Chain A
Amino acid sequence: MEATHAHGAGHAHGDGHSHHPKGVMRWITTTNHKDIGTMYLWFSFAMFMVGGAMALIIRAELFQPGLQYVEPEFFNQMITLHGLIMVFGAIMPAFVGFANWMIPMMIGAPDMAFARMNNWSFWLLPPAGILLTASMFVPGGAAGTGWTLYPPLSIQMGIGMDMAIFAVHILGMSSIMGSINIVTTILNLRAPGMPLMRMPMFCWTWLITGYLLIAVMPVLAGAVTMILTDRHFGTSFFSAAGGGDPVLFQHIFWFFGHPEVYIIALPAFGVVSHVIPAFARKPIFGYTSMVYAIASIALISFIVWAHHMYVVGMPVAGQLYFMYATILIAVPTGVKVFNWVATMWRGSMTFETPMLFALGFLFLFTIGGFTGLVLSNTAIDVQLQDTYYVVAHFHYVMVAGALFSAFAAVYYWLPKWTGHMYDETLGQWHFWLSIVSFNIAFFPQHFLGLAGMPRRIPDYALQFVDFNQVSTIGAFGFGLSQLLFLYVVLKAIRGGEKAPAKPWEGATGLEWTVPSPAPYHTFEEPPVLSGAKGHE
């Protein structure tokens, strides 16, 4: 602290610090929230490409019935790794990356609260990513259980399963440390004059997500550790032969799993709650009720988990309980959509790329929410469980929800990060290609599911051919469109129109008061907040 002050007062801070290691060592040793945020984002993009390639292998195999390209065992490994890599490697690190870059700037803090732990949280990720991808090449291959890792299969697999368990442990540690850091930063480092109820919505969603992560990642770690001891140390937590119960695993997993889907959704809500007001040029509608609703979504997400388990066998009373609770959680979620629509109501809107992605999010996330409601009905879910309908549901909420909101975030903040405007025409192309191909890929999966096509199989009956072919074509279109995204981002990093400090007319908040690109150190002295409302 002393040191920062003594020399922060004298001269201007730039990238040219002589005592900073250069080259690779800069990135390995960095404790700067911007460097770490950048690394999170690139790691996430790399994992997005790896997981995406796996998805294309899956879709290629499903283009025709019968087996064409891969063995069924390998197909199952692709299903598993695709899910784990996308959830833990792509989506979650992307939002931690945004948090690292933006939260200190949004609240006027010089850096994250625990700068060194921040470095460690990031550097745990690459080993986990390597473990997961490398597990494909060990004897027996990767885990073939699906991302849900259900026993008894997960007790029978080879060493690839152990690697997946280890990877999940490491990823969990990273998430927990990242969350502690974010929560502490938000609670302790806000600029004087920024009370909690005036801080930016993205910080609120991350504060609540942080608590969710701290609550449920240990649960997942416990579940996979029990699998590990069942596999190697003679316990029988989940093995009926030894007096255990495989269904117990499903309860523990989904006690983590349902809050997990909100861990993914809430920061996405946060991003959209910045982008829509900025491009509608109106403050967010119902800031306070939004905060309360997000908090209650988080609490209620703990009491609905068994809607993933309607068919494993539970008493009717249990089914009814989980059905009613799940239907009720849709109320605060629906109110969010209402808030965003009301924000746009009579605003003066423009449709730059971030806004397009936010609107795409709004439309498609709502579709995903509705199919979730359909599935929450036990009588219907008994038909649809483990069919492509479920696959369609969660891709609408995770891809068109979380991923589109991540794209909105990248386009929205790219000028701040790089100092250049991205190519607006190409950005809009990226949006339209993505949203059209996404719907071609996933909308037909609703029909496939309703017609009874099971998920997680490499082969299928003839009546499913047409929609599968449409879906595969869409999936390849979606995958290729993302190369355009990479190009747009690289182009903006290398040059382009100079971005002003606040490139978006309607944007509000402290992050737009610093120059673009944001200097290596920002807010070494806390800013003076003049207005009553920090977020406006």
Chain B
Amino acid sequence: MNGGTVVGTRKAGPLQLLRTVLSGLFGVRHSRTHEEDAAGLRPIQIIVAGVIVVVAFVLAIVTFVHFVAAK
């Protein structure tokens, strides 16, 4: 991307992916951590991770509700 150097080939781990998506959900983050992430992530990874996080998000609320609504 940036000038076609090879920075972009470093592999990003799942934890880093998760961090990117969660900070995306929240909406604010440090620009430096973003630059780091952007270097190692491909859009498709982010999209898949985003969908998985949303499913997890739903399940988390459902679980929480399960406890709150239990007698």
Chain A residues with CB under 8 Å of chain B are: 195-197, 286, 288-290, 292-293, 295-296, 299-300, 303, 316-317, 320-321, 324-325, 328, 331-332, 335-336, 338-339, 532
A317 touches B26 (CB 8 A): no
B23 touches A289 (CB 8 A): yes
Distance in angstroms between the alpha carbons of A30 and B23 in the assembled complex: 44
| Binary A-proximity of B7-48 (CB < 8 A = 1, otherwise 0) | 000000000000011011111110100100010000100000
Q: Which 3 A-B pairs have the closest CB atoms?
A: A292-B24, A335-B27, A293-B27
Which one, A196, A316, A317, A332, contacts B25 given CB within 8 A? A332
Distance in angstroms between the alpha carbons of A316 and B67 in the assembled complex: 12
CB distance from B16 to the nearest CB of A (A): 14
Task: List 19 A-B pairs, Cβ < 8 Å.
Answer: A288-B29, A289-B23, A289-B27, A289-B28, A290-B27, A292-B20, A292-B21, A292-B23, A296-B25, A296-B54, A299-B51, A303-B58, A320-B69, A324-B65, A328-B57, A331-B25, A332-B27, A338-B27, A339-B28
A317 touches B65 (CB 8 A): yes
Distance in angstroms between the alpha carbons of A197 and B43 in the assembled complex: 10
Q: Does B6 contact A (CB under 8 A)?
A: no
Number of A-B contacts (CB under 8 A): 78
Looking across the interface, which residue of chain B has its beta carbon closest to that of A292?
Answer: B24
A321 touches B62 (CB 8 A): yes
Mostly helix, strand, loop or mixed at chain A's interface?
Answer: helix
Given contact pairs A296-B54, A321-B65, enumerate 17 new A-B contacts (beta carbons under 8 Å).
A195-B1, A286-B27, A286-B28, A286-B29, A288-B29, A292-B24, A292-B27, A293-B25, A295-B24, A295-B50, A296-B27, A299-B51, A303-B57, A325-B61, A331-B26, A336-B27, A338-B28
A288 touches B62 (CB 8 A): no
CB distance from B29 to the nearest CB of A (A): 5
Distance in angstroms between the alpha carbons of A108 and B30 in the assembled complex: 30
A293 touches B38 (CB 8 A): no
CB distance from B24 to the nearest CB of A (A): 3
